[in-house]
Structure 1
């Protein structure tokens, strides 16, 4: 079973390759584990969507590759508006949009536009500012997820190397101890 991940695009982050100096990753790193937990940000609907998108990869056909606009509108529930503060990047996007809308609307009003026209410009500034900040935040999150996956991969590799070195050291100590015991044990007895 896959670990619960709060991802917006329901796709695992892409890895960039082995660290500098490495030729091929060890066997335990071929499929790195990705850890990401955001408490309280996953709704049951999102979990179902994530499971449905991975179902197509396991051999089970998904019902459609892209949802329609009507399906998207039907998936919006009243409770979604009550939990908007839990959606990643929503707060940043809305705050930037409010600021951009206020600046554009007031600026347009002071340059001589009538109030309704200035309000339209303010709403456009709100939408544009919100969308730009949302996309920027999502890009930062994708970059952070990829970096976290990379860190986990490197940590797993280092852990395996450390365990291998410990096993080799234990094997060498055991062989050395057996050699010392054989050297001390004689095949004859004086008394």
Structure 2
């Protein structure tokens, strides 16, 4: 992938300010959300591009294939695994589980390849289970935080309404007192 010094630089797209969009913008990417196994009643529904599903998809891409799935994996996905929430905890639990199960199988008489297979299986199973447990806990925390925020907002609006009502009552009391003082200052007699 390295470029020779004699070779002119490759252009990825038009220069800035060009009127024609780059190649990757010309054809919009359509994302599909899977809600279940059946697609009844969803045909012809407009997508994000504003075109019906049957117009944007070719018949061959109705079901994704393993080859398409593998082609969608990028090297950047593996470099950013540490940024995925719960991935670290899942991997550490999987490593520990795999080591314990593999050692246990070896100590209790299994040969090394068989113990390694058990260790790898335990690693996968432990990692997936811990990842899913962590994700469920995060979901519950988010739901609890949303409830807390809702309660705090409601209490703040109640407190603000009470403060406004108290300020209105104080203002009315001050006006009433000022009116009484003004009436008391009026003399009950007149010289002219």
Once the two structures are superposed, the pairs formed by residues 132-147 of structure 1 within 5 Å of their partners are 132-147=129-144
Corresponding residue of 2:79: 82
- What per-residue deviation string (whole Å, max 9, x for no partner) do you get for residues 49-79 of structure 1? xx997xxxxx974569xx9575654443211
Q: Specify the alignment match of 1:151 in structure 2.
A: 148
Highest RCO, 1 vs 2 (Cα 8 Å, sep ≥ 6): 1
Larger Rg: 2
Q: CA 1:68 to 1:142, structure 2 compared with 1: closer, same or farther past 3 Å?
A: farther
Give the number of aligned pairs. 134
Q: Where does structure 1 lack aligned partners over 5 or more consecutive residues?
A: 1-50, 54-58
Q: Deviations over 1:56-114 (max 9, x none)?
A: xxx974569xx957565444321121111111000000000001111111111111111
1:163 to 160, 165, 169: 160
RMSD: 2.8
| Alignment partner, residue 115 of structure 1 | 112
Distance across 2 between alignment mates of 1:174 and 1:143: 46
SS at match of 1:185: helix
User: Which sits farther off after the overlay, 177-186 or 72-81?
Assistant: 72-81
**Higher deviation after alignment, 94-103 or 69-78:** 69-78
Q: TM-score, normalised by structure 1?
A: 0.62
The one-character-per-residue Cα deviations of 1:14-36 (angstroms, maximum 9, x if unpaired) are: xxxxxxxxxxxxxxxxxxxxxxx
CA distance 1:111–1:188, shift in 2 (3 Å): closer
* The 10-residue stretch of structure 1 (105-114 or 181-190) with the greater mean CA deviation from structure 2: 181-190
Q: Structure 2 length as normaliser, TM-score?
A: 0.61
